[in-house]
Amino acid sequence: MAELESARVDAWLWAVRICKTRSAATAACRAGHVRVNGDRAKAALPVRPGDEVRVRLHGFDRILIVRRPIVKRVSAEVAATAVEDRTPPPPPREAVPTVPVRDRGSGRPTKRERRDLDRLRGR
């Protein structure tokens, strides 16, 4: 298999299994959720070995380093060698504040309930 110098960022994200489909990777680029070396990336931007790719998925940033540019869907073992994941671990559940949940159908909060919610959220 011949080594590639570069690959499109959307094809690479799909090939290393960050996005489920190539069109989802393209949509993420179009929406501005993909950055390559700190700059917003269009779908056709080439990535090369050593580039840092930041992808915002499900509200969290994933920090990835390109080890090998690939454009075809390959086995999980080969895909794992093409990317280095430098995403920090998520914070422990105790550190994340809980979101208060209102009963469904209970209507708008009263002024007193809203003030209690604001106090709970630290505003």
What are the tens digits of pLDDT across the range 31-46?
Answer: 999 999 999 999 999 9
User: Residue 19 and residue 11: Cα distance in Å, rounded?
Assistant: 9
Residue 114 phi, psi dihedral angles, 5° rounding: -65, -40
Please give the structure tokens belonging to residue 108.
Answer: 């708008």
pTM of the model: 0.74
DSSP state of 25: H
Identify the residue with better confidence: 37 or 105. 37
Q: Give me the residues paired with residue 61 across strands.
A: 56
Identify the residue with better confidence: 108 or 50. 50
pLDDT at position 121: 82
pLDDT at position 59: 84
Identify the residue with better confidence: 97 or 47. 47
Alpha helix positions (H), 31-110? 76-81
Q: What distances in angstroms separate CA 56 from CA 18, 53, 72, 92, one per listed residue? A: 10, 10, 22, 20
Count of residues making up the chain: 123
Q: Is 40 helix (H, G, I), strand (E, B) or coil?
A: strand
Q: Stretch 52-63: mean pLDDT, rounded?
A: 93
